[in-house]
Structure 1
Amino acid sequence: MRRSARRQRAKARRQAAPQVSITEAMLKVGYEIVARERAKKAAPVNPFKPAEHPAAFMPDGGLAMDDALTDVGSWAASVSTDFAGSDCQHFLGFGPLSLLAQRPEYRRITEVIATEATRKGIRIQAKGRDRAEKVKQLEAEFKRLRVMDLMRKAAELDGFFGRGHIYVDLKDAAGDELATPIGNGSDAASKAKVQQGSLNGFRTIEPIWVVPTGYNSSDPLSPNWYRPTSWYVQGRSIHTSRLLTFVSREVPDLLKPAYSFCGLSLTQMARPYVDNWLRTRQSVSDLVSAFSVMVLATQMGNAQGAVGEDFFNRVELFNLTRDNRGVWAINKETEDMKNVSAPLGTLDVLQAQSQEHMASVSGIPLIKLLGIQPAGLNASSEGEIRVFYDGIGSYQEASLTPNLTTMSGIIQLNLWGEVDPNITTVWEPLWSLSDKERAEVRKLEADTDEVLIDSGVIAPTESRKRLADDQDSLYHGLDPDDLPEGEEDDEDVTGESDDGTSPTVRRLFNAARARVAAE
C-alpha cells in the first residue's frame, strides 16, 4: 500500500508540473551568436591588390600603376570574387613570409633545394691549352667573390619570398649612374661600363627592400611586358641589369603586380601541407597524452550541496595519485568505475602520411628532406635521388645559369677587360660514382682503347690525348707528346714487347709509372 501511494503522489506531481515541448527544451541559438561565429572566419581577400613594401622604400608617387593595369586588375578581382583567398590563392606578403621562414618545415624545404643546387659548384672549361692560366685566375676570382655562396643565398630568397636579387657593385656607381644599364656581361654595354678592376663585388638583397617600377602593362608585344626595367631601393632607381633577379616559379601576368613581381614561393606552395602536418602532429600528441579516461558512474547529487566539496576533493585526489600502482575505492552498491581508451594502433601511419605530403609538394625525397630511410627488403632511395638530381639540374639551367653567365662575363671584364668566348661554365653533376664504380669504368675504357688501337681504328696518341683531356681521369694534364723513354725500344716488329704484353698495356703502365713518380 505504501508503494502504491508513493507512485500516485509522483504521478500527481508530474501532471501538475508545466509541460515543456521538445522545441522549447532545446538550447536556443540567437542570430547574434551565428553572426559572431561567421565573423571569425577569414574575410575574402583581393588577390590582385598590389603588394605592400615599407613606406620608406617606396617611390614618392607610389607604384607605377597606369590606367590599363588598374582596369585589368579591377576586372580580374570582380570575376574572381568567389574564388579569391581560398587555399593560399593570394600573395601572403613579405611580413608573413618572413615569419614563416623561421619555421623549420618551410626552411628545410628551401635550404635543401638551394644547397643541393650549389653544393658541387661549377666547372670552368676552356678550349685550348693556352687558356689554362686564365681558367686558374677565373676560378680564384669566383672563389674570392664567393659566387656559389651568393647563388645559394639568392636561391634561398627565391624559395622564401619568390624572388631574390644579387646586386652588381661597381666602383663610382652612384646617383643617376645607377639607373643606367650595364648589359648582360658580354654585350657592348657591359664592355663600356665594366672596366678592368672596376668591380667591387656582389651582394644579395631581400626583395622586401626592392620595389618594382617602370614595367609595361599596355603592350603585350613589348619586350618589357610585365617585366620591370628598373627597381626602386630606398630613394634610388636601380636599372634591372644591376640587380640580377632570380624568379623560379613565375605567376601569371595578372598576378605579377600583386606579388610585387615575385614568383610563387616554396613557402606558399607548401603552406597547406605544412598546416595539415602541424595540426596532425599536435592532435596525435594531445591524444597520446590523454588517450585514456576514467569514468565514474555515481549519484551526481553527490556533486551538489554540502557534500559537493568532498566529492570534488575525492576526484582531485584520484587524479593526483593516479598510476598503475594506485587503488580507487568505490561504493559497491551505488558506484561503478570504467576505463575508456582511444586506439593508438594507426596513429604513426596517419602522422607519417601527413609528413610525407610535404615531401611530395617540394619534390624532395624523404631521405633528403626528413632523413627517413626507406623500409622493406632491398629498399633503396637511389632511384628517387637520381630523379631529384635531374630536377635540380633542370632548376640550375633554367633559374641559375642565366645570371651565372652574366656574372662570369662581368668577372672576366674586371680581370682582363674582355670576355673570352672559349671559356664557359658548366654545373658539376650531382650524382657521382663510388671509387669502385669509377675504377670499373676506367677499366672498361682502357679495354676499349686497347681493342681500338690493336685493330688500327685509333692511334695510341689519340687514346693518350683523351686521358689527358679528361678532367676526371687520373692522367688529366698529361702531355700527350711527352712519351716515356724506351717505350719504342721495348717493342719488336710484331708489336709485342719483350715480356709479351701488348703495346697499349705497356703504354698505360709507363704512364701510370710516370704519374706515380711525379706524385
Structure 2
Amino acid sequence: MGTDRDKAATTFYAHTVMTDDQLIAAYSTAWLPRKIVDIPALDACRKWRGWQAKKPQIEAIEDEEKRLNVKGKVLEAMKKARLFGGAALYIGTGDADAAKPLDVERIGRGGIRYLNVITRRKLSAGEIERNPESEWYGKPRDYTLSGNNGQQVVIHPSRLVLFSGAMPADDEISTNVWQGWGDSVLQSTLDAIKNADSTAGNIASLVFEAKVDVIRIPDFMASLNNEVYRSKIIERYTLANMSKGINGTLLLDKEEEYDTKSASLAGLTDILMAFMQIVSGAADIPVTRLLGQSPAGMNSTGTSDMKNYHDRIQSMQELELQPAMARLDECIERSAGVVDPDVHYRWAPLEQMSEKERADIFKITADAARQLVGTTAGQEIVPREAVSDALVNRLVEDGVLPGLDAAIEEYGKLSEQEPSDDELAAAAAAQAAAKPNNVTRMQAAANDAAPRTLYVRRDVLNAAEIIAWAKGQGFKTTLPADDLHVTITFSRTPVDWMEMGSTWEDEVKIPRGGARLMERFGEARVLLFNSNMLRWRHDEMVDKGASWDHPEYQPHITISYDPGSPDLADVEPYQGEIVLGPERFAEIYEGTAQSIAES
C-alpha cells in the first residue's frame, strides 16, 4: 500500500552508530536496556575476589581496597563502559605530569590517593601505536581529558585502567567515531529490544480493544449530515453507556441491533516471551536472570542456563577484568605496604556451594588423604608429611576451616614436629625398661585391640532444656537427664576399636531449627533431627566393618517410653540447640541391646 515496510528489511545489515543522546535516553527511560547494561557488570563485581596471602597482608590489601572503594569504582566503570563503549579508572598518585608513564615501583604505602572514573565522552584517544615492539601496540599512545574552561590534560595509558564495551570489528574500517574505544553493548541488541518493547506495547493496546460493543442504527450514515442528529446520537449513547455501567441494562430502539465483539488474548504471552528470549540471546543473559522470574515448564530448573551464564561471567573476570586491572592491583599492593610476588587472588564463584556440598567435599578429601597415607608391604604409599602439607594447602584454598593457615603458622607443620634423634633414643630406652614378660607396650596394645562388639554414643549436655520442653508439651515422664543420648554405632559384629578412628571435635552442637520431627519407635517417643557430622561418623565406622541393624541411620534422641505420652501429632518438636558431648565407646551387653532395640 505504498509503505516503507518490507518483509526482507532485516536481511540487510548497516552499521548505524547510536549517539550518546540515544544511549542515555534508552538507559534512562527503558528497563530492558538498563538491565542489559547493568546485570553482567553487577554480577562480575558482586562476589568480588579473595586474596591469597598471609593474614596481615590480606587485611592490609582489603583495607586499602575499602579506602579507595575499588569495588564500587570498578562497577561504575564497567557499567559506563558497557553503555558508552568505553570508560577508564584514573590512578591518582599526585604526580605533576600525567603524560609521563606511571612508575609502579616508586609507589609506597598510601601512594594511591584516589581512583576516578572517566567515560570515553570526556577522554579522547590519541594516535594508535603501530610499533609492534611497543607494549601499547594497537592501542592509543595517550589520551586527552577535556576539562573545564577548555583545558585539556594529556594522560599516559599506564595511568588508566581501561574498560571497553563490545569489541569493534576493526578500528581501520569501523565507522565508530570514538577511535580507540569499543561499541556500546546496546548497539547490537537494540533491534531485539525495540521489537520486544513494541510487542509489549501492542499487546497492552490490544487489552483495551478486547471487548468492543457494536450497535447497528437504521439510516445512520444517511443522517450524519444533520448536525442536530449527530449531537443527539452522541448524547443518546452516552446516556446508554452510563445506564449500562450502573445497572447493566441497555435501552435500545426496537429497530436497533446490539452486538459485542471480543478479541482472543490467548497465546499473546507466548509471543511476548518469544521476543524476550530473543533479547536474552542477544544480551547473553538467561531469561530467568534478565526478567527475575523462576523457570517455567515441566522439569524446568534453569540450572544449566545459569551455569553457562556464570561460566561466561567468570570468563569475563579472568580474560577481561583481571588483565585490565593487573597494573592497578600491583599499585594497590604497594600502596598497602605489601611487596610479595606470591600474593595473588581468586575471583569468588557466583554460585556458592551449600554447607552440605562443602562438607561432602571435605569428607571425600580427608578420606582420600587417609588412603594415601596407608601402607603397602609395611611401606607408606605417600610420605605422611607430603600428604599433610598438600591437604593443608587444599583446605586453606577451599576455605572449609577458617584460620587453618594461621594455626599452622603458629603450631607448625607435621614435618616440623618430627622428634629429634635424642627424643627417639629416650623413647626407645623407656619402652625397653617397661617391657612386662618380654611383651612390649605395642604388643599389649595389639592384644587390647582384639575385635569386640561396639556401642558408641554421645550424651546430651543440655538435657535439662530438652526435658523442660518435653514437660511443656505434655510428657508426664521422660528419661533421666543422664540417659538422654544419641547413638552413633551399635555393632553386634566384633570390630577393631582402634580402626574406628577419632572425631574432629569432642563436642557437637546441632544448630537451632532445621528439620525436626517427633516419631514413635516401638514404645519409644523420639526426637528426630539432622546432623551431617553424625551421619558421616556412622558411615565411617560402617565402612570399617561395624554392623547396623536398621536399613538406614537417623540421628535421634529418645524422650520417653511412657504409654501415657501425648499424641505426637499435637507435639511441637524441640527447635532449640542440641549440645552433644564426646564419643563414648563401650561393648554391647544385654541391657544396652534391649534399650537400643526399643529406641
Paired residue for 1:145? 68
Q: How does 1:282-321 map to 2 (within 5 A)?
A: 282-298=201-217, 299-300=219-220, 301-305=222-226, 306-321=228-243
Is 1:107 matched with 2:40?
A: no
Q: How many residues align?
A: 416
Q: How does 1:62-141 map to 2 (within 5 A)?
A: 89-102=15-28, 103-126=30-53, 131-141=54-64
Q: Deviations over 1:310-336 (max 9, x none)?
A: 122223333444449433333334x32
- Mapped partners of 1:296, 1:444: distance in 2: 78
- Mapped partners of 1:513, 1:97: distance in 2: 62
Shift of 1:277: 1.5
Shift of 1:142: 2.1
Equivalent residue for 1:465, pick from 385, 389, 398: 389
Shift of 1:349: 1.3
Structure 1 residues 90, 331: CA separation in 2 closer, same or farther (over 3 Å shift)? Answer: same
Is 1:382 matched with 2:308?
A: no
More RCO (CA 8 Å, sep 6+): 1
Q: Deviations over 1:29-48 (max 9, x none)?
A: 9xxxx8xx98xx9xxxxxxx
- Verify the 8 A CA contact 1:303 1:309 in the aligned structure 2: no
Is 1:166 matched with 2:89?
A: yes
Paired residue for 1:271? 190
Shift of 1:460: 4.2
Structure 1 residues 285, 87: CA separation in 2 closer, same or farther (over 3 Å shift)? Answer: farther
Q: Deviations over 1:450-490 (max 9, x none)?
A: 222223323444444344332222262242338799xx99x
Q: Deviations over 1:97-138 (max 9, x none)?
A: 122221221111222111111121112224xxxx44333322
Structure 1 residues 504, 272: CA separation in 2 closer, same or farther (over 3 Å shift)? Answer: farther
Shift of 1:392: 0.5
Equivalent residue for 2:501, pick from 494, 501, 505: 505
Paired residue for 1:62? none
Is 1:156 matched with 2:76?
A: no
Q: Deviations over 1:251-306 (max 9, x none)?
A: 02122752343312222232112211211111111111122222222212333324
Q: Secondary structure at the match of 1:262?
A: coil
- Mapped partners of 1:135, 1:324: distance in 2: 73
- Mapped partners of 1:256, 1:225: distance in 2: 21
Is 1:336 matched with 2:257?
A: yes
Structure 1 residues 257, 158: CA separation in 2 closer, same or farther (over 3 Å shift)? Answer: same
Q: Secondary structure at the match of 2:501?
A: helix
Q: Secondary structure at the match of 2:214?
A: strand
Is 1:209 matched with 2:128?
A: no
- Mapped partners of 2:357, 2:41: distance in 1: 28
Paired residue for 1:190? 104
Paired residue for 2:567? none
Q: Deviations over 1:121-179 (max 9, x none)?
A: 112224xxxx44333322322232222222211211121111121010012x23xx111
Paired residue for 1:363? 284
Structure 1 residues 136, 258: CA separation in 2 closer, same or farther (over 3 Å shift)? Answer: same
Shift of 1:513: 4.9
Structure 1 residues 495, 162: CA separation in 2 closer, same or farther (over 3 Å shift)? Answer: farther
- Verify the 8 A CA contact 1:151 1:400 in the aligned structure 2: no
Counterpart of 1:310 in structure 2: which amino acid? K
Equivalent residue for 1:200, pick from 91, 110, 113: 113
Counterpart of 1:149 in structure 2: which amino acid? G
Counterpart of 1:98 in structure 2: which amino acid? I
Counterpart of 1:390 in structure 2: which amino acid? D
- Mapped partners of 2:335, 2:447: distance in 1: 55
- Verify the 8 A CA contact 1:150 1:203 in the aligned structure 2: yes
- Verify the 8 A CA contact 2:90 2:118 in the aligned structure 1: yes
Paired residue for 1:228? 140
For structure 2, the 5+ residue unaligned runs are 420-426, 432-440, 455-495, 510-599
- Verify the 8 A CA contact 2:101 2:158 in the aligned structure 1: yes
Moved more, 492-501 or 103-112: 492-501
Is 1:441 matched with 2:441?
A: no
Paired residue for 2:348? 428
Counterpart of 1:458 in structure 2: which amino acid? V
Structure 1 residues 196, 438: CA separation in 2 closer, same or farther (over 3 Å shift)? Answer: closer
- Mapped partners of 1:134, 1:330: distance in 2: 88
Paired residue for 1:326? 248
Q: Deviations over 1:398-454 (max 9, x none)?
A: 2100122211111223344x7422112221222321111112222222222222222
- Mapped partners of 1:263, 1:238: distance in 2: 19
Moved more, 282-291 or 321-330: 321-330
- Verify the 8 A CA contact 2:84 2:165 in the aligned structure 1: no
TM-score by length of 2: 0.62
The structure richer in helix per residue is 1
- Verify the 8 A CA contact 1:248 1:399 in the aligned structure 2: no
Paired residue for 1:7? none
| CA-atom RMSD in angstroms | 3.6
Structure 1 vs Structure 2: percent identity of aligned residues?
21
- Mapped partners of 1:428, 1:397: distance in 2: 11
- Mapped partners of 1:161, 1:446: distance in 2: 50
- Mapped partners of 1:462, 1:221: distance in 2: 45
- Verify the 8 A CA contact 2:241 2:250 in the aligned structure 1: no
Structure 1 residues 515, 336: CA separation in 2 closer, same or farther (over 3 Å shift)? Answer: closer
Paired residue for 2:423? none
Q: Secondary structure at the match of 1:408?
A: helix
Q: Secondary structure at the match of 1:387?
A: helix
- Mapped partners of 1:433, 1:316: distance in 2: 65
- Mapped partners of 1:473, 1:144: distance in 2: 29
Is 1:238 matched with 2:155?
A: yes
- Mapped partners of 1:238, 1:515: distance in 2: 60
Structure 1 residues 311, 248: CA separation in 2 closer, same or farther (over 3 Å shift)? Answer: closer
